[in-house]
Amino acid sequence: MKKAIITGAGGFIGRALTAELLAHDVEVIALDRAEMDIAKRSPNSDGLHIVECDLSRLLSLNETDRELFVGADVFYHLGWAGSAGDVRADYTIQLRNVQWSLDAMNFARESGCARFVGAGSIMEKESGFVGNAQSVKPGVAYIYGTAKLAAHYMTKSLATRCGIDHVWAMITNAYGVGESSPRFINTTIRKILAEEPLEFTSGTQNYDFVYVNDIAKAFRLLGETGKPFCQYMLGSGGAKPLRQFIEELGQTLAPERPLYFGNVPYTGVNLPLEEFAIDDLVQDTGWSAEVPFAKGVRMTYDWIKRSV
């Protein structure tokens, strides 16, 4: 891989992937919103080209800008509006994300890319379980998961017509330095710093977390050696009940603070541990997680503490 396109390059995972590719001498065309500045966040900005473009305007880029994209090998589609928080339940935004994912596939074809790598979510699995279960009332957050599932399947079908290899990574739970959205690790660390009560569900549901730099490395490798029309679970490989992660986080960052389990209701689905398996990812790319959970949450804690 010599040249890659990234949508959502100014986002949490997008910034890490941009830095990862640049560090491996890959030229990067970063589709970025105007208010973000990737160059300041990437230690090596040689070979980085930033194009200010919202996903809704992707197919309307002028010819001058489009010339930058010609000759790219891989199209990474990370851009997604409303991937965390209450906006996950906004079906208008989530449906637009599906449309924009299909637009991204068509743009990849027009740019001559041989491969399209999409960023999915483990909530695709959860949405499938809940959607097919009898007498189960899915929560509105599954609107997001269902949209990811639709984008996955529809871009995969469109890739066949476009003559592009389709690779899909389903991320378990991303965390790390640079995270600002209300995901679990970020929110819990901020509660520790604010000395708020640490209340959780019973924590019996299976979970996995993977540090953002490890995610970036996995995406690079999937762009290079992932098998066409295959999907990959992207986790640490050490999935276990959420309570065990929480207890490790508490022992690492706030050993003196009590943890209250069962105070928060849980209405989601508990996926079997085998659904978190990363065997295909390891076999096809040689990837493995390098950042242990305790080290990752410590680095994230230190960064957030400096930021508040």
CB 116 within 8 A of CB 166: yes
Q: Rounded distance, CA 210 to CA 170, Å?
A: 12
Structural domain contains residue 243: no
Strand ranges, E, within 10-149: 27-32, 48-52, 74-77, 115-121
Neighbours of 292 (CB within 10 A): 13
pLDDT at site 131: 86
Neighbours of 225 (CB within 10 A): 13
259 token code pair: 């943890």
CA dihedral 40, 7, 177, 234 (to 10 degrees): -150
Q: Rounded distance, CA 29 to CA 72, Å?
A: 9
- Of 26, 68, 75, 74, residue with least CA distance to 46: 26
What's the distance, Cα to Cα, between the start and end of the chain in Å? 39
Distance of CA 217 to the CA centre of its chain: 12
Structural domain contains residue 268: no
The CATH number assigned to the domain holding 214 equals 3.40.50.720
Structural domain contains residue 166: yes
Q: Write out residues in the chain with pLDDT < 50, as ranges.
A: none
Helix (H, G, I), strand (E, B) or coil at 45: coil
Q: Rounded distance, CA 28 to CA 61, Å?
A: 17
For the chain, how many structural domains are there in total?
Answer: 1
Structural domain contains residue 123: yes
pLDDT tens figures, 105-148: 999 999 999 999 999 999 999 999 888 888 888 888 899 999 99
pLDDT at site 132: 86
Structural domain contains residue 186: no
Q: Rounded distance, CA 203 to CA 266, Å?
A: 9
pLDDT at site 38: 58
Structural domain contains residue 125: yes
Q: Rounded distance, CA 169 to CA 271, Å?
A: 17
φ, ψ dihedrals at 172, nearest 5°: -75, -85
Does residue 170 come out as left (phi exceeding 0), alpha (psi in the -120 to 50 range) or beta? beta
Structural domain contains residue 7: yes
Structural domain contains residue 295: no
CB 190 within 8 A of CB 304: yes
Instruction: Find the domain containing 228 and state its range.
Output: 3-178+209-237+274-290
- Of 238, 235, 240, 219, residue with least CA distance to 285: 219
Does residue 210 come out as left (phi exceeding 0), alpha (psi in the -120 to 50 range) or beta? beta
φ, ψ dihedrals at 260, nearest 5°: -105, 110
Sign of the CA dihedral with 133 first, then 139, 140, and 144 last: negative
pLDDT at site 46: 77
Residue length, the chain? 308
pLDDT at site 158: 98
pLDDT at site 63: 81
Q: Rounded distance, CA 289 to CA 144, Å?
A: 26
pLDDT at site 160: 97
